[in-house]
């Protein structure tokens, strides 16, 4: 089955970076130092490893494994998912290069296949970053959160049908606006069935706008950072990536989207689907800007979407995004408890494994609720005592009743960066110390720092002593200044890489490990342009509101090039019956209704405009083939197109980027 793809170079990241399964090139990797070995060994005595309940729960209801040893391919025979790549952890003790807690999470996540959650609810797990859930109605199935890619979603549906019969899909529920919860939708339903009314698509208010907007405006920088966060540049082995803690990785198949037919707008709203009642609770501004929980009374089953999984989640994601509201997160979990806590017998989620039994469901929701409430309240307590963001994060420590609960461990979010997220949510980037209000940029500051330290050789000599002593955080902080000052100093980059590597080996948090090890790789080898496709979906582009598309043009406009220019263009889009003006003035692009005296007029269908703006076609070609008409001073419109920047994906992360020439 073929799914539509968009040709490059348009790159549009949607919430989760989706990357290829290419094997990264080998990198020089060190063994764990004695300091790292001791750090990881200490974890064994700090956490309740004798509690094996999760290992029982992750196997509960198992029906069948993923076929073909967990390998899923696209229509060209290219692998988009390979569960077997993570089999190296099964049945083995954690090696010295891995935090034992993260190793434990990897062992749980690498269990995959079709599972019964409870009669009439089934999940396919570990076939992508997220789970896909099949809820059996009277005559068909309701699918919750159809993964990232059409290929992985279709393979999951095929596995379900092999064991549960060829039931038709009658509805799809998107619990929230991240790509791993809708991207595979065309792998399980035909849009014609949605258009005809045979299939409902149910989503929370604001879903479509958020699904295509969160990572559009800063998508290029988010995508590059996501290649670090998800370990896309690293080998899958005990010295490389161990997944993300939330899931194993991201599938690089075909990302699709079908707009909702039914929108949930308020808490308490009910929708009947194929004999089942879905009662919804709105949870915006939590793990996603548009998110919702729901309860099925006939099955006594509840989901809190991604707000109550088996990890501390991100209040700030390291790929970059708006900071999330910890207080609201806790409040919506509390409201879920109040509404359904005395009824629910099973809690299932689009990540990880379910929780069974009313007592356990309530306990899990309470501990997750109080996890986010504690981080919110204690961060503000310390901030109000005058401690800055970094100090607050260093001082934050969860109480044992929260920290010793496995589902609260920081596999995806971390106490450290979530604390900083809360601080930043309320107080922003500035900590109030005027000495930090106007700092030099890293390169200039680095040069002065190295000068004050007595030169590069002196810095390296001192840093080596600290490295030998196991002071890796300080070595990284110091050598960041030296590398910023002297990006060609390979000795400095190598020692910085060594420090980051040991820090990575010690991490319980999957994305932190991936960031440290990816940074080490870049410092040693330079930027490697490995296959890491950022989601570029025709469905997503077609569903971007035209106003958002024009906003994106304003971001791509090169302000210095546009300075002193004054232009206006009337844009007519017959296929969407839209008429607009683009107005360039003061180095800024605005849009509005058509103007009386434009410099040029452009008549073009929206889809063709997408091609021109994204560089897959030239305006002259569209005029030549008759799909566009250009009136007035066409040269000015072409001049305007020449002012739109394209974004280089492979910019430096661990070394300075060259400043643009004026």
Say whether the peptide bond before residue 9 is cis (omega within 30 degrees of 0).
yes
Residue 7 has pLDDT above 60, yes or no: no
Angle between helices 358-384 and 415-427 in degrees, nearest 10: 60
**Quick check: 363 and 387 in contact, CB under 8 A?**
no
User: If we measure between CA atoms, which residue out of 405, 396, 173 comes closest to residue 309?
Assistant: 405
What Cα–Cα distance (Å) separates residue 439 from each residue in 388, 426, 444, 459, 595?
Answer: 17, 22, 10, 21, 44
Consecutive H or E run containing 48: none
Over range 29-33, report the average pLDDT. 94
What pLDDT does residue 252 have? Answer: 87
What pLDDT does residue 528 have? Answer: 83
Tokens of 244: 């993300």
Weakest-pLDDT range from 20-29, 261-270, 471-480, 626-635:
20-29
CB neighbour class for 36 (10 Å; exposed up to 12, middle 13-18, buried from 19): buried
Cβ neighbours, 10 Å, residue 368:
26
For the domain spanning 546-641, the CATH number is 3.30.1050.10
Sequence-distant (≥ 6) Cβ neighbours of residue 454 within 8 angstroms: none
What pLDDT does residue 511 have? Answer: 97
Tokens of 590: 């605005």
**Residue 173's beta-bridge partner residues?**
144, 202
Confidence band of 17 (pLDDT split at 50, 70, 90): very low
Q: How far apart are CA 123 and CA 114, in angstroms?
A: 6
Q: How far apart are CA 78 and CA 396, in angstroms?
A: 45
Q: How far apart are CA 250 and CA 531, in angstroms?
A: 13
**Residue 279's beta-bridge partner residues?**
270, 295
The per-residue pLDDT for range 411-455, each reduced to its tens digit, is 999 999 999 999 999 999 999 999 999 999 999 999 999 999 999
Residue 9 has pLDDT above 50, yes or no: no
Q: How far apart are CA 341 and CA 354, in angstroms?
A: 15
Instruction: Compute, in degrees rounded to 10, the torsion defined by CA atoms 112, 117, 120, 125.
Output: -20
Cβ neighbours, 10 Å, residue 475:
25
The per-residue pLDDT for range 298-316, each reduced to its tens digit, is 999 999 999 999 999 999 9
Residue 159 has pLDDT above 70, yes or no: yes
Over range 568-593, report the average pLDDT. 95
Confidence band of 613 (pLDDT split at 50, 70, 90): confident
Instruction: State percent of the chain over pLDDT 90.
Output: 82
Weakest-pLDDT range from 84-98, 547-561, 608-622:
608-622
Confidence band of 2 (pLDDT split at 50, 70, 90): low
pTM equals 0.91
Instruction: State percent of the chain over pLDDT 70.
Output: 94
Strand 262-264 and strand 200-204: pairing?
Answer: parallel
The per-residue pLDDT for range 233-248, each reduced to its tens digit, is 999 999 999 999 999 9
Q: How far apart are CA 6 and CA 141, in angstroms?
A: 30
Residue 161 has pLDDT above 50, yes or no: yes
546-641 and 34-371 share a CATH fold: no
Quote the longest CA-to-CA distance of the chain: 77
Q: What is the CA radius of gyration of the chain?
A: 26
Tokens of 477: 């902080």
Residue 491 has pLDDT above 90, yes or no: yes
Residue 129 has pLDDT above 50, yes or no: yes
What pLDDT does residue 560 have? Answer: 92
What pLDDT does residue 484 have? Answer: 96
- DSSP label at residue 371: H
User: If we measure between CA atoms, which residue out of 355, 344, 264 comes closest to residue 308?
Assistant: 355
The per-residue pLDDT for range 390-413, each reduced to its tens digit, is 999 999 999 999 999 999 999 999
Confidence band of 538 (pLDDT split at 50, 70, 90): low
**Quick check: 280 and 298 in contact, CB under 8 A?**
no
Sequence-distant (≥ 6) Cβ neighbours of residue 628 within 8 angstroms: 602, 603, 604, 608, 612, 619, 622
Q: Where are the domains of the chain?
A: 34-371, 546-641
Residue 3 has pLDDT above 60, yes or no: no
What pLDDT does residue 215 have? Answer: 61
The per-residue pLDDT for range 80-112, each reduced to its tens digit, is 999 999 999 999 999 999 999 999 999 999 999
Q: How far apart are CA 177 and CA 322, in angstroms?
A: 14
**Quick check: 281 and 341 in contact, CB under 8 A?**
no
CATH architecture of 34-371: 4-Layer Sandwich (3.60)
What Cα–Cα distance (Å) separates residue 356 from each residue in 353, 406, 655?
Answer: 10, 16, 48
Give the position of tokens 């989760």.
Answer: 16
**Residue 133's beta-bridge partner residues?**
123, 144
Supply the mean pLDDT for the chain: 92
């Amino acid at each position: 089955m073929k799914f539509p793809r968009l040709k490059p170079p348009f790159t549009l990241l949607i919430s989760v970076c989706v990357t290829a399964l290419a094997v990264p090139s080998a990198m020089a990797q060190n063994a764990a130092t004695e300091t790292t070995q001791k750090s990881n060994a200490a974890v064994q005595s700090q956490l309740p490893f004798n509690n094996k309940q999760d290992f029982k729960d992750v196997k509960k209801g198992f029906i069948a494994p993923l076929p073909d040893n967990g390998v899923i391919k696209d229509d060209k025979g290219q692998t988009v998912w390979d569960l077997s790549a993570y089999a190296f952890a099964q049945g083995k003790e954690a090696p010295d290069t891995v935090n034992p807690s993260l190793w434990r999470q990897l062992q749980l996540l690498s269990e995959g296949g079709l599972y019964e959650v409870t009669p009439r609810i089934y999940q396919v797990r570990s076939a992508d970053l997220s789970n896909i859930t099949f809820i059996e109605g009277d005559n068909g199935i309701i699918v919750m959160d159809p993964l990232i890619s059409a290929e992985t979603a279709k393979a999951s549906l095929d596995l379900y049908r092999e064991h549960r019969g060829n039931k038709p899909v009658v509805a799809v529920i998107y619990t929230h606006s991240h790509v791993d919860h809708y991207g595979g939708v065309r792998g399980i339903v035909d849009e014609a069935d949605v258009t005809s009314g045979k299939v409902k698509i149910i989503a929370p208010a604001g879903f479509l706008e958020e699904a295509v907007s969160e990572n559009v405006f800063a998508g290029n920088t988010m995508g590059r950072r996501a290649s670090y966060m998800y370990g896309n540049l690293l080998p899958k082995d005990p010295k490389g990536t161990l997944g993300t803690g939330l899931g194993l990785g991201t599938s690089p198949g075909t990302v699709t989207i079908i707009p909702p037919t039914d929108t949930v707008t308020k808490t308490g709203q009910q929708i009947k689907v194929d004999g089942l009642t879905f009662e919804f609770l709105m949870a915006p501004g939590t793990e996603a800007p548009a998110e919702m929980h729901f309860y099925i009374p006939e099955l006594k089953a509840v989901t809190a979407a991604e707000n109550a999984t088996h990890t501390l989640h991100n209040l700030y994601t390291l790929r970059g995004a708006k900071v999330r509201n910890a207080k609201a997160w806790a409040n919506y979990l509390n409201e879920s408890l109040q509404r359904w806590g005395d009824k629910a017998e099973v809690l299932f989620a689009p990540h990880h494994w379910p929780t069974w039994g009313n007592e356990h469901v309530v306990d899990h929701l309470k501990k997750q609720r109080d996890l986010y409430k504690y981080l919110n309240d204690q961060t503000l307590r310390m901030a109000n005592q005058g401690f800055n963001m970094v100090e607050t994060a260093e001082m934050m420590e969860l109480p044992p009743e929260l920290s010793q609960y496995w589902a609260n461990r920081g596999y995806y979010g971390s106490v450290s960066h979530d604390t900083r997220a809360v601080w930043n949510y309320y107080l922003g980037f500035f900590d109030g110390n005027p000495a930090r209000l106007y700092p030099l940029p890293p390169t200039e500051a680095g040069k002065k720092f190295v000068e004050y330290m007595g030169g590069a050789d002196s810095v390296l000599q001192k840093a080596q002593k600290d490295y030998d002593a196991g002071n890796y955080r300080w070595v990284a902080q110091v050598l960041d200044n030296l590398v910023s000052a002297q990006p060609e100093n390979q000795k400095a980059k190598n020692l910085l890489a060594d420090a980051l590597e040991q820090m990575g080996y010690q991490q319980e948090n999957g994305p932190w490990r991936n960031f440290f090890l990816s940074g080490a790789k870049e410092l040693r080898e330079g930027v490697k342009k490995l296959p890491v496709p950022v989601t570029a979906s025709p469905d997503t582009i077609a569903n971007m509101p035209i106003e958002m598309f024009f906003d994106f043009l304003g971001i791509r406009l090169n302000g210095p090039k546009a300075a002193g220019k004054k232009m206006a263009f009337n844009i007519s889009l017959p296929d969407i019956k839209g008429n607009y003006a683009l107005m360039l003035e003061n180095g800024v692009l605005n849009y509005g209704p058509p103007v009386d005296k434009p410099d040029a007029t452009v008549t073009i269908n929206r889809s063709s405009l997408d091609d021109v703006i994204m560089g897959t076609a030239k305006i002259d070609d569209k005029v030549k083939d008759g799909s566009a008409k250009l009136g007035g001073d066409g040269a000015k419109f072409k001049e305007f197109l020449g002012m739109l920047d394209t974004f280089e994906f492979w910019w430096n992360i661990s070394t300075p980027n060259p400043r643009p020439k004026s």
